[in-house]
Amino acid sequence: MTADLDALPRIPRDAEGPVFREPWEAQAFAMALRLHETGHVTWREWADRLAAEIRAAAERGETDDGTRYYHRWLAALEKLVADKGLITAGELARRRDEWDAAARATPHGQPIELGRARRIS
């Protein structure tokens, strides 16, 4: 797998492998790996899409201190699955809203669970 990770420059890592600040970053990373493993995307497609997101962020004047890396990763992932027809734009928006509502309903320090907002309301 190390050779595959080398195709993704600038990925936050240490001697052990990828480094994640939050659980959602690891989940986004795993989703991209799964899309590759199942043949939905090639590493070249993924690297190109991620590079485009990083460039777009730079063009918007966003700083690149590494803290927003997985936000760009997630944006690339969302656009790639939508472009490939693996999810519709409406489904993606609905799921994003559901996660946002769950995050807002989650007490600080607790894991975010999809559906939490519905259970609390």
Over residues 20-66, the pLDDT tens digits come to 888 888 888 899 999 999 999 999 999 999 999 999 999 999 887 77
Task: Tell me: do 74 and 26 sit in the same domain.
Answer: yes
Task: Tell me: do 51 and 93 sit in the same domain.
Answer: no
* Between 47 and 110, residue with greater pLDDT: 47
Q: What is the mean pLDDT of the chain?
A: 82
Task: Tell me: do 113 and 68 sit in the same domain.
Answer: no
Task: Tell me: do 79 and 92 sit in the same domain.
Answer: no
Task: Tell me: do 61 and 100 sit in the same domain.
Answer: no
Task: Tell me: do 76 and 96 sit in the same domain.
Answer: no
Task: Tell me: do 59 and 100 sit in the same domain.
Answer: no
Tokens for 102, please give them.
Answer: 């769950």
Task: Tell me: do 73 and 115 sit in the same domain.
Answer: no
Range of the structural domain that residue 30 is part of: 2-87
Q: Give the per-residue pLDDT at 1.
A: 44
Task: Tell me: do 71 and 101 sit in the same domain.
Answer: no
DSSP per-residue string spanning 12-76: -EETTEE--SSHHHHHHHHHHHHHHHTTSS-HHHHHHHHHHHHHHHHHTT---SSTTHHHHHHHH
Task: Tell me: do 79 and 97 sit in the same domain.
Answer: no
Task: Tell me: do 54 and 6 sit in the same domain.
Answer: yes
- The tally of domains found in the chain comes to 2
